[in-house]
Structure 1
Amino acid sequence: MTEITTAKPGSTEVWITGIGLATSLGEGIDANWDALTAGRINVDEKNFAPYVVHPWVQVSLDAQIPKKGDQRQMEAWQRIGTYAAGLALDSAGVKGNKEILSRMDMVVAAGGGERDLAVDTAILSAQAKGNSAPGFLNERLMGDLRPTLFLAQLSNLLAGNIAIVHGVCGTSRTFMGEEVAGVDATRIALARIAAGQSDIALIGGSHNGERKDLLVLYEFGDFNLRDRFAPVWAREQHPGFALGSAGAFLVIESKAHATARGAKPFARLSHVVSDMSPRKRTGDVTATLEQLWSQLGPREGGGAIITGATGAEPVTSEERAFLQKHADFAVRSTGTRFGHTMETQFALGLGLAALSISRGALFPAGDSSGVEIEMAGPPSQIVVVGAGHWRGEGMALVEAVG
C-alpha cells in the first residue's frame, strides 16, 4: 500500500533550514558543493579489494564531538552521524540553543552496529581446528567482547549519542530497513510538522561503508561492485553498488517557527511518498515509481531529479526505464559521487536538492551515459528518488521558497 504525506493547502509549510553533510567528498556544505562542481569522486579500489568503496574524509572530531570519552564509546558510524548532526544544527543556527534543542524532535534512519572481527575470526578459527569444547561459544562471547559493544550495536544509539552530545531532547524515533528507512524518517517528520504536532525536527542518518563484515554480507547477495569503479549508469554489464561512508542530517521546521527566530530556508519540503513494490515481475519497480510520481503534485517541466540509484540489478535498469519517461528532467545520481550509503542515501539526496535550489544551480552531470543531462537555469523544483537495492521505493518534492 502506498503511503503519502503531503503539505496540503492550508496546512503548515515546512522549510529545510539546516544541512549537515560529512561524506567521502568532504565536511560541510561548501566542501561538498565545491567537490561536486569540480567533478571530484573519492574512491578506494585497493584497501577492500576486490570491492570498491567511497571512504569517509577524516575530520577533527573534536569540532562536533568535543569529549574524547564520547568519541571512544561510539563506533565509526555513530561518530559519522553525530558529527553530521552537529553540522546540521550549526547550519540552522540552533547549535547550543537549549530552549529550542529541548523540544526539537529527532527522526533517524540507522542500521545495526559493527562486528568485532578479531573475536569472530578467533572463534571461527578455533572451531575449524576442532578445539571448541561444550559451551565454547558462550564463554568466548562473554569473555572476549567488551560490554559496550552490545550497546554500540543498537540502531537507536545514534539518536542517543546525538542527544547526549548536542542536547537534542525532544521526541526520538529510529527507523531501520535500509534505504526505505530514510524515506520513512522524512515522511514521519514532515507529517508531524505539517499537522502541527511538532515545530522543528532533526532528520537523517549515517553509514560506515568501510566495513569488511558489511561487504561479506552484501557479497552473499551479489550486490557489491567489484574490481574497478564505474558510474552508476555504466554498471549494467558489471552491476553492484560501491558502499559509501557518509552522514547526512537536515533541520526541518515550520515556516512560522523559522520566521519567528529569523532563520532563512534553503528550500521547502513539500511532499514525501513511499511504497513497497512486489518486485515479482519485470517492470514492477518502474510502475511503482510512476505511481509515486503521479502523487507528488504539480511539477514544472524541465526540472531535476536527484536519485539514490544503487547500481544493483535489476532495480537500477527498472529505475532507468522510469527516468527515460521523464527525459526532460536533469538527473543526478548520488551513488556515482558518494557511493551507496543505505539508510543515509535519501537524506543525502534531500540535502543536495535543498543545496542546489539555494545555490541557484544543479551540480554537473556525473557521467557521459546520456541519463544525466545538463540543466541551463536554476532549479525551482527537485524530486528526490530512492529505490532500494532489493525493496522499498520513495520520493520527495523539494521546492524553492517564495
Structure 2
Amino acid sequence: MTEPKSPGAKEVWITGIGIVSSLGEGLDAHWDALNARRINFDDKRFAPYIVHPLAPVVFDAQIPKKGDQRQMEAWQRIGTYAAGLALDSAGVKGNQEILSRMDMVIAAGGGERDIAVDMAILNADAQGNSSPGFLNERLMNDLRPTLFLAQLSNLLAGNIAIVHGVCGTSRTFMGEEAASIDAARIALARIEAGQSDIALIGGAHNGERPDLMILYEFGDFNLTEKFSGVWARENNSGFAMGSAGAFLVMESREHAEARGAKPYAKLTRVVADLAQRKQPGAVTKSLEALWTKLGVPGDSGNLITGATGVEPVTAEEKAFLRQHPGFAVRATGTTFGHTLETQFPLGLALAALSISRGALFPPNDPTGFEVEKSEPPTQIVVVGAGHWQGEGMALVEAVK
C-alpha cells in the first residue's frame, strides 16, 4: 500500500528546469524536438559504438569565465551549464539571498581517465610485458596528481557553487542511475519535512568518452553497429550513451508563493529499491512493489521511463509495463541515449515540462509499444531501472 506522508508534510513544487542534451538547450528547443520526433545520434565517430553527442553549446552564456571553463572536465561544464538554465528558469539566478541558502543534491559519476596511460598499460599487458609491480609503477609515474583531483565527483557541486553562488548544504551521490533516484528522494523528503526551503537537484553525463566505452564494453552494455529504439533491442542489446545535463529547482509551496514563483508541476512522491537481480523477474517484481508504494491512482495515465535497452532488465521492465496497459509510455533512452546519473532527473524534467505544456510529447517508437495520448496530463509516473542495479519511481502531478 502507499507509504503515508508524515502529518504536516509540505507540498513540493518544481519551479525551475534546465536541460542541455543532444537535442539542444532549454525547454522550447527540447519541446520542439520531442514533438518533431527528432533523434540525434552518431554511429561513425566511435564506431562500432553509438552515441548521442551534445548539441553545440556556447558555454559562456552560463559559465562566463574562461578560466572556470578550462578547469572543468566536459561533464562538469555540461552540469554547471544545465544548473544555470534551471536557476534562470526558476527566476533565482543572481538572487544572493536565496542562493546563499539553496541546497544542492547532485548525482555524479567519476571523472575522465587518462586514455594514453590506460592504452599503454593494456597494450603492455597484451604483449606480455607486464612484470610484477608493473601496474603500480605505471600508475605512480604516469598519472599526474592533478588528474586525480579533477576526478572528484563532488566537483560538480563545487563548480556550481563557484559559478552560480549556490551556497547552502551540498550532497553528492554516486552509484549510476540509483544515485539520481536517491538525490530526488532525499531532496523531496528534506523539503517536505521543512529541513530545506529550496534545493537544486540533478546530474550531468558526458557520453562521448572512450574510457567509458571500454568500461561498459567489459560488461557487454554498449549498443553497437546499428541504431534502434530501446524497445527494439531484444536481439541487439545495449545502450547508446548520451551527453546531457538535467537540473530542477524544487521548493516548498509556501516558499515559492512568497516569492511569486509559478510551478511547472509538483513532485508528490519518490520511491526506490535495490532488487537482487539473481533470479529472472526480479526487476518486474521490484517495479510492481514500487508501483504500489507510489500509490498511482487509476488504471490509465502517462509514464516516462529511462529504460536502457540493456537486457534482461529492459525485457523485465517491459513485462511490468504490460501489466499496466492503460498507461502511455515514453522512453527517453531512444531520443536522448542513456545518460546514467542524468536519466532520472531528465525524466522528472520532461514530466514537469509536459504537465506545464498541457500535453504528453508524441511516441518515437516504430514497434508500436508506445501509443498516442491526446488528453492533457495531470499526473505522470517517472520510472528508472538501472542497467546493472537500482530501481525507482516518482509521481509528478499538476498543481491544483
Partner of 1:178: 176
Give CA-to-partner distance per residue, 1:182-212, whole Å, 9 cap, x none: 1000000000000000000000000111111
Percent identity reads: 75
Shift of 1:237: 1.0
Partner of 1:43: 41
What is the aligned counterpart of 1:373 among 366, 371, 374?
371
Contact (CA 8 Å) 2:13, 2:263: kept in 1 or not?
Answer: yes
Within 5 Å, which residues of 2 pair with 1:1-400?
10-125=8-123, 141=139, 144-400=142-398
Q: 1:262 to 1:114 in 2, by over 3 A?
A: same
* Cα distance in 2, alignment partners of residues 70 and 154 from structure 1: 16
Shift of 1:136: 6.6
* Cα distance in 2, alignment partners of residues 300 and 265 from structure 1: 24
Contact (CA 8 Å) 1:107, 1:172: kept in 2 or not?
Answer: yes
**What secondary structure does 2:68 align onto?**
helix
**What secondary structure does 1:343 align onto?**
helix
Greater shift, 141-150 or 157-166, is seen at 141-150
Q: Give 1:230's aligned amino acid.
A: S
Give TM-score, length-normalised by structure 1. 0.95
**What secondary structure does 1:375 align onto?**
coil
Greater shift, 280-289 or 355-364, is seen at 280-289
Give CA-to-partner distance per residue, 1:128-165, whole Å, 9 cap, x none: 66778997756654554344311211111111111111
Give CA-to-partner distance per residue, 1:9-51, whole Å, 9 cap, x none: 6310000000000101111111111110000001000111111
Greater shift, 289-298 or 203-212, is seen at 289-298
Shift of 1:126: 5.6
Q: Give 2:336's aligned amino acid.
A: F
Q: Give 2:371's aligned amino acid.
A: I
Give CA-to-partner distance per residue, 1:30-76, whole Å, 9 cap, x none: 11111100000010001111111111112011111111111111111
Shift of 1:243: 0.6
Q: Give 5+ residue unaligned stretches, structure 2.
A: none
Greater shift, 128-137 or 188-197, is seen at 128-137
Number of equivalenced pairs: 400
Contact (CA 8 Å) 2:299, 2:324: kept in 1 or not?
Answer: no
* Cα distance in 1, alignment partners of residues 67 and 202 from structure 2: 24
Contact (CA 8 Å) 2:304, 2:347: kept in 1 or not?
Answer: yes
* Cα distance in 2, alignment partners of residues 320 and 86 from structure 1: 35
Give CA-to-partner distance per residue, 1:317-352, whole Å, 9 cap, x none: 010011011111110000001000111100000000
Q: Give 2:105's aligned amino acid.
A: V
RMSD: 1.9
* Cα distance in 1, alignment partners of residues 127 and 359 from structure 2: 61
Give CA-to-partner distance per residue, 1:198-253, whole Å, 9 cap, x none: 00000000011111111111111111111011000000111111111100000000
Q: Spell out structure 1 runs of 4+ moving beyond 4 A.
A: 4-9, 123-144
Contact (CA 8 Å) 1:312, 1:389: kept in 2 or not?
Answer: yes
Give TM-score, length-normalised by structure 2. 0.96
Contact (CA 8 Å) 2:329, 2:370: kept in 1 or not?
Answer: yes
